[in-house]
Amino acid sequence: MAKCAFLGLGVMGYPMAGHLVAAGHDVTVWNRTRSKADNWAEDYDGQAAETIAEAVSGCEFVFLCVGDDPDVYAVVDQAVPAMTSGAVMVDHTTASSECARKCHQQAAAKGVGFVDAPISGGEVGAQKGLLTIMCGGNPSDFAAANPVMDAYAKATKLMGDSGAGQLTKMINQICIAGTLQGLAEGVHFAQKAGLKMEDVLGAIGKGAAQSWQMDNRAVTMDEDAYEFGFAVDWMRKDLGIALRTAEQIGADLTLAKQVDGYYSDVQKMGGGRWDTSSLLKRLK
């Protein structure tokens, strides 16, 4: 059993922190809105802290899952000074690789480990404890945190030095964006051609066109259902990080940039909170 803090109780962090309790760890949580931390403590029989410093005091592991680079910096600035030398901070936020490297340096100056560990699997993956985690940092810090992350992970992998986890998450989102646009066009084509989606999936769903997105989103796309899943607003945030990084390293992300523009169209349609599969809406 490890003494842990979890900072940030959004749709991902709330169940993730709960899985830590279920695995037998001693967990204290903090959230910007205190009432959510209190609700979590009641749901999972854990502790809620008033401040970040209170939450992380004496903890071996500190996990955070917040919004974007500025949120990470704000939390790290308050957490690291209150952490014990030798403790490890694990950041599950999808942020920039630059943010990860700066936070790693800040933590190291205090003798604290830092692992950037963005997650994939969505809200359902968090609830079921079946997330994929892409990590960057020192091998020793990763090795220490990995058994604790097992509480909510189906797979974890150290990708390299600090920032490598965030770079890998960018690749994940780039690939998803392209796959979803292709799937949206395929479903659109099937509908225009007068084919039944059930029949189409039965024919192509076991072949080379198969994907997680097809298995889990093609039917709901055909039904015009999008009030669930990974929000367009979040995907645009993630793609924005990838596109800015691509400019810095000289990578050509022509398709990702195009799909990001399509997501902008969806936002203008009022679909910022729709699932990312809502790319189909703009084709109708």
User: What's the pLDDT tens digit per position in 44-81?
Assistant: 989 999 999 999 999 999 999 999 999 999 999 999 99
**What is the overall mean pLDDT for the chain?**
97
Report, as an integer, the average pLDDT of 24-40: 97
pLDDT at 136 over 90: yes
What is the model's pLDDT at position 284? 87
Q: Cα–Cα distance between 242 and 240 in angstroms, integer?
A: 5
Please give the backbone phi and psi of residue 80, each rounded to the nearest 5 degrees, phi first.
-60, -45
Question: For residue 101, what is the enclosing H or E element?
Answer: helix 97-108
Count CB neighbours of 51 within 10 A: 12
CATH of domain 3-161: 3.40.50.720
Report, as an integer, the average pLDDT of 227-256: 97
Please give the backbone phi and psi of residue 208, each rounded to the nearest 5 degrees, phi first.
-70, -20
DSSP class of residue 84?
P
Report, as an integer, the average pLDDT of 170-176: 98
What is the model's pLDDT at position 58? 97
User: What's the pLDDT tens digit per position in 101-111?
Assistant: 999 999 999 99
pLDDT grade for 32, boundaries at 50, 70 and 90: very high
Domain extent listing, the chain: 3-161, 167-283
Residue 237 a catalytic site member: no
What is the model's pLDDT at position 24? 97
CA angle in degrees (0–180, nearest 5) for 246-251-256: 70
Q: Cα–Cα distance between 121 and 19 in angstroms, integer?
A: 15
Q: Which of 3, 36, 110, 169 is catalytic?
A: 169
Alpha helices in 194-253 (DSSP H): 197-204, 212-222, 232-249
What is the model's pLDDT at position 245? 98
Q: What percent of the chain has pLDDT over 70?
A: 100
Question: Quick check: 277 and 180 in contact, CB under 8 A?
Answer: yes
Q: Pick one of 3.40.640.10, 1.10.1040.10, 3.40.920.10, 3.90.1720.10 as the CATH number of 167-283.
A: 1.10.1040.10
